[in-house]
Structure 1
Amino acid sequence: MFSIDSRKMLEKLLTLVISDTFQIPVWTVILATVCLVWLVWERKKPPKPPQINKDAENETVQKVTPSTTAGTENVSLKEKYDASKYVRLKLKIFFGTQTGKAKNFAKQLCDEVTKRGYVVEVTDLNHYDPEDNLADEGTDTVCVFFVSTKIPHALTLPCNFKRSKPCDFIFYYLKVGKNIDKWLHNLSALRVMPLGQGDEDVVNSKHGGIEEDFRAWRKIFWRKAGPILNGRKQLTPNTTLGKKEKGKCGGQCKCKEDGGKCSSDEEQESQDELYETTTDEEADDVDDNNDGVTQNSSGVVDLEDLGKVMKKMKTAKVQRKAEEEAAGNGGEKKEMVTPQLRKALTKQGYKIVGSHSGVKLCRWTKSMLRGRGGCYKHTFYGIESHRCMETTPSLACANKCVFCWRHHTNPVGTEWRWQMDDPELVFNGALENHVNMIKQFKGVPGVQADKFEEGKQPAHCALSLVGEPIMYPEINKFIDLLHDKHISTFMVTNAQFPDAIKNLSPVTQLYVSVDASTKDSLKKIDRPLFKDFWERFLESLKELSAKGQRTVYRLTLVKACNTDEIENYAKLVSLGNPDFIEIKGVTYCGDSKASSLTMSNVPWHEEVVGFVKQIADELPDYEIASEHEHSNCILLAHKRFKIDGDWWTWIDYPKFHELVRNYKESSGKQTFSAKDYMAKTPQWAVFGAKEQGFDPKETRYFRKSKKDIGGC
């Protein structure tokens, strides 16, 4: 503490110093310092939240939305946007799914919305009654619909949807979603953003796949719907995102008196689509007069409307041409196997080779290593199952068959649009991975030493693992590499690429999957991507008849789907004139969202035999030659392979390699036919034998605790 005398001395000293230096009284300096400290404190102190008058809240919300000006960069975020002044809307996400993709997209959006702090609810349309519930969705809700092209249940909207309580809505996907978008709009719901579409076909998808389409849509979603969800923008019954629902004229013009269309509506429609697709849904749109095509009373379509119908297809072609030109100019193409797909296939036991190929051990390879029997190819054609390599140079396919045992984890497409690996890389990678998987059986109980050593030297290649091998542009070079190593080739195709079949080099045996005998049933079972799938199918069968080597029709029987089309199957046989017809009961691979098959669709072996006998009666040139009861499979063979009462369905593999070498050295001049490398079928493999196709040299094991769902 200072005494009184000390304070007076200090005051006098400060007065002398400051007065002599600045000519300012000391108390003035002290007062100025206090004011400066107070000003700094007030500026750093956090501002109080503004109090909003509840009676004028709605008016305030509309007025506080900041306008975009040149000086907004200098305004602080809190001055630009005060969240306390706005009312956040809740989000409701609906999904209708067949394979689980729509559900997955709904979950991804839900997770993102939750992280941003919004209230969100996810609802399965399969458990939602629109008649009772949709009308209750009010103006405080934004609805998002994720629906697949086709959903397994009917979706109807309530006719009593009140115009006084419109909800905001968004939609994503194809045909079903288009209808939902149109119906909700007619029921006075307010469209938050234009219709979004995704395409599973990577060729026709604008962004290279449905996942990429979703990511692009999600960015647009937050740009369009974000301001509405947080309350900074409001939709009214007369406007959507600032645009009049009925066009610039507000629906007051006289354009529609003669059944025409408002010109301003047409301008709005041009913005209604985010992504163009060229799947068979477009064909439905062309035939649907309710989707933008108007007719007069005589039923004649206006030429202007006809041009609009073709708009999407032209846009898609232009986009594709631009992509092809970019690729031709050195643009980088995408890899077929994405990280997510690689993870899924690896989990299933695949070894991925390069960017688009794969190899996997067949269960029959493992079985024969233990001396427990071979597959039906061993019975029908004499292959050594433990020396068979199952691979594919293309994991992509042009079909999405209901019985696909890969559960549709592979990509789909109608043409090759990915990066392409050299055939040497594919061959060496497949061979190396297969041999390494065989080596892992060293020391496994039951594995026979001699077959283990033989298994490390593959002698056969089943090009039927997954996907469509014939899509690979260098398939002929890949086949030559296999033959150079004396590995026989069993090629399977889904009959959607007739030109590729025509140009295919000779293989040991060429299969064509004939899963149905009519256009409707083929579309139902194979679910092809091509619009002209039936024409391609028939042309492929015709090209098969021109091949000189062994050819096979492969029929997969699905009970209640394709087992009652005997006469139609017989007609298809006359087109391709195959050497053999394999008829196999469908293999049930467990529950899958990608397929509606159950055990009730799997025919018993006796039922398959009955079907084969019926179709044999319609085909006088064919007889039942062999069976493999364990695989539920029967072989019909042309009578030209029955010599002196004995069947010659087996293959002389050394002879085949000699013939194919001569063919290659003569540049294709020295041709050969299926009869040039046939071998006699042993008695145990002939139909009617007590072994029912099981090699007596092997030991058969019956599983009791586990269901046998394998096959090759």
Structure 2
Amino acid sequence: MRDAYKKQGYHFVGVQAVVKPCHWMKRSLLTRGEKFCYKQKFYGIPSHRCLQLSPIIQCSQRCLYCWRAQPQDLGIDYNELDVKVYDDPYTIVENSVKEWQKILSGYLGNPKVDPVMLQEAMRPTHAAISLVGEPTMYPKIGELVEAFFEYGFRTTFIVTNGNFPEVISNLEKEPSQLYVSLSAPDEETFRKVCRPMLKDAWKRVLKTLELLKSLSCPSVVRITLVRGLNMKGIDKYAKILSRAEPTYIEPKAAMSLGYFRYRLGVEPMPRHEEIRAFAEKLAEYTGYNIIDEAMDSRIVLLSRLNKPLKLM
């Protein structure tokens, strides 16, 4: 598994923890800040100062649209639910920053890159705990969030598949914003698209969604859409969302990257116009309003707020 991840450009900073610079971080540097991620447009997170990582590479789902290498893709018999070894949270933070600086050193002297921006990028202020794997399977996820804040990071995002509601309800430290993936309007579609390993995974996802109202931090329900698989049943999505009452809803196209392309090809990746049409219909059912969108990322933002909260 480690070899497959390394070939995909992941940098191990421990026995499990990995970091990888995303497309938008690099593009922000190479365009001197003219191009940036939707997280900057929506929430004020500067793309060049965003460190993307995962504390573990294991996951409780094997989503068809996921870009990560999964054991069955490689012909490996590997029990991902059994987390036997993992890294200390403070070691993850320290090693991640060191590796990040090593990666970014390759941009030194590049005439396309603003030296001031590069020095800022060397000191990341946002941790996106969302790269691969399921972060709530990491036994010290709350401590990891705390460790990032103690190190000087201003914001952290956690993106979860919702399979472990007990972890969310017992977080020692909440992130700046919590994302929960909702990739299906019903259990049948969920099992086809997400291929969960836990028998009661659908009930667990619904439980996690119901917990969002109890959190102090803003919450996002991310609906990752794949043409021909889960862009149906908008009324059912709306019914589930009414139980969650998230701060935001983000319908987004699944991108044909990595092992997504290996499993599904290119055709199932929706165009932005399709995501926009889905969002407009979802707005009708939920009473949420479309307050922003990012065409390059094929994502639309819905909320009951007039505009998104800027976290930086």
| TM-score normalized by the length of structure 2 | 0.93
- Cα pair distance change 1:591/1:387, threshold 3 Å: closer
Q: Work out whether residues 251 and 299 of structure 2, in 8 Å CA contact, stay in contact via their aligned partners in 1.
A: yes
SS in 2 for 1:489: strand
Distance in 2 (alpha carbons) for counterparts of 1:463 and 1:498: 17
Could you give the per-residue CA deviations for residues 643-701 of structure 1, whole angstroms, max 9, x where no partner exists? xxxx2x13243xxxxxxxxxxxxxxxxxxxxxxxxxxxxxxxxxxxxxxxxxxxxxxxx
User: Could you tell me the percent identity over the aligned residues?
Assistant: 35
Correspondence for 2:103 among 409, 413, 437: 437
Instruction: Tell me which residue corresponds to 2:231.
Output: 563
Distance in 1 (alpha carbons) for counterparts of 2:87 and 2:23: 28
Instruction: Tell me which residue corresponds to 1:600.
Output: 267
Matches within 5 A, 1:124-523: 341-370=1-30, 371=32, 372-408=34-70, 413-416=80-83, 418-487=84-153, 488-504=155-171, 505-523=173-191
Q: Work out whether residues 225 and 254 of structure 2, in 8 Å CA contact, stay in contact via their aligned partners in 1.
A: yes
* Displacement of 1:346: 1.5
Distance in 1 (alpha carbons) for counterparts of 2:51 and 2:260: 27
Distance in 2 (alpha carbons) for counterparts of 1:592 and 1:545: 32
- Cα pair distance change 1:548/1:602, threshold 3 Å: same
- Cα pair distance change 1:562/1:472, threshold 3 Å: same
- Cα pair distance change 1:652/1:540, threshold 3 Å: closer
Distance in 2 (alpha carbons) for counterparts of 1:365 and 1:412: 33
Q: Work out whether residues 5 and 69 of structure 2, in 8 Å CA contact, stay in contact via their aligned partners in 1.
A: no
Give the aligned residue type for 1:650.
L
Give the aligned residue type for 2:99.
N
Distance in 1 (alpha carbons) for counterparts of 2:115 and 2:49: 14
- Cα pair distance change 1:395/1:358, threshold 3 Å: same
Distance in 2 (alpha carbons) for counterparts of 1:607 and 1:556: 12
* Displacement of 1:570: 0.4
Distance in 2 (alpha carbons) for counterparts of 1:606 and 1:592: 21
Distance in 2 (alpha carbons) for counterparts of 1:593 and 1:514: 21
Structure 1 residues not aligned, in runs of 5+: 1-340, 654-712
Residue 651 in 1 paired to residue 310 in 2?
yes
SS in 2 for 1:538: helix
* Displacement of 1:580: 0.2
Q: Work out whether residues 397 and 467 of structure 1, in 8 Å CA contact, stay in contact via their aligned partners in 2.
A: yes
* Displacement of 1:407: 3.2
- Cα pair distance change 1:412/1:396, threshold 3 Å: farther
* Displacement of 1:421: 2.3
Between structure 1 and structure 2, the one with the greater Rg is 1
Instruction: Tell me which residue corresponds to 2:218.
Output: 550
Distance in 1 (alpha carbons) for counterparts of 2:99 and 2:259: 30
* Displacement of 1:347: 1.8
Instruction: Tell me which residue corresponds to 2:279.
Output: 612
Give the aligned residue type for 1:373.
K
Distance in 1 (alpha carbons) for counterparts of 2:225 and 2:261: 21
Instruction: Tell me which residue corresponds to 1:276.
Output: none
Q: Work out whether residues 128 and 156 of structure 2, in 8 Å CA contact, stay in contact via their aligned partners in 1.
A: yes
Larger relative contact order (C-alpha < 8 A, sep ≥ 6)? 2
Q: Work out whether residues 556 and 585 of structure 1, in 8 Å CA contact, stay in contact via their aligned partners in 2.
A: yes
* Displacement of 1:412: 5.5
Distance in 1 (alpha carbons) for counterparts of 2:309 and 2:47: 14
Give the aligned residue type for 1:471.
M
* Displacement of 1:512: 0.2
- Cα pair distance change 1:652/1:589, threshold 3 Å: closer
Could you give the per-residue CA deviations for residues 75-128 of structure 1, whole angstroms, max 9, x where no partner exists? xxxxxxxxxxxxxxxxxxxxxxxxxxxxxxxxxxxxxxxxxxxxxxxxxxxxxx
Correspondence for 2:300 among 621, 634, 637: 634
* Displacement of 1:592: 6.2
* Displacement of 1:591: 6.8
Instruction: Tell me which residue corresponds to 1:539.
Output: 207
- Cα pair distance change 1:553/1:591, threshold 3 Å: closer
Q: Work out whether residues 591 and 598 of structure 1, in 8 Å CA contact, stay in contact via their aligned partners in 2.
A: no
| TM-score normalized by the length of structure 1 | 0.41
| Deviating more after overlay: 342-351 vs 486-495 | 342-351
The root-mean-square deviation of aligned C-alpha atoms, in Å, is: 1.7
Between Structure 1 and Structure 2, how many residues are aligned? 303
Distance in 1 (alpha carbons) for counterparts of 2:79 and 2:194: 13
Q: Work out whether residues 581 and 636 of structure 1, in 8 Å CA contact, stay in contact via their aligned partners in 2.
A: yes
- Cα pair distance change 1:598/1:419, threshold 3 Å: closer
Distance in 1 (alpha carbons) for counterparts of 2:157 and 2:261: 30
* Displacement of 1:413: 2.4
Residue 524 in 1 paired to residue 183 in 2?
no
Distance in 1 (alpha carbons) for counterparts of 2:161 and 2:189: 15
Could you give the per-residue CA deviations for residues 10-60 of structure 1, whole angstroms, max 9, x where no partner exists? xxxxxxxxxxxxxxxxxxxxxxxxxxxxxxxxxxxxxxxxxxxxxxxxxxx
Q: Work out whether residues 163 and 205 of structure 2, in 8 Å CA contact, stay in contact via their aligned partners in 1.
A: yes
- Cα pair distance change 1:574/1:412, threshold 3 Å: farther
Q: Work out whether residues 24 and 37 of structure 2, in 8 Å CA contact, stay in contact via their aligned partners in 1.
A: yes
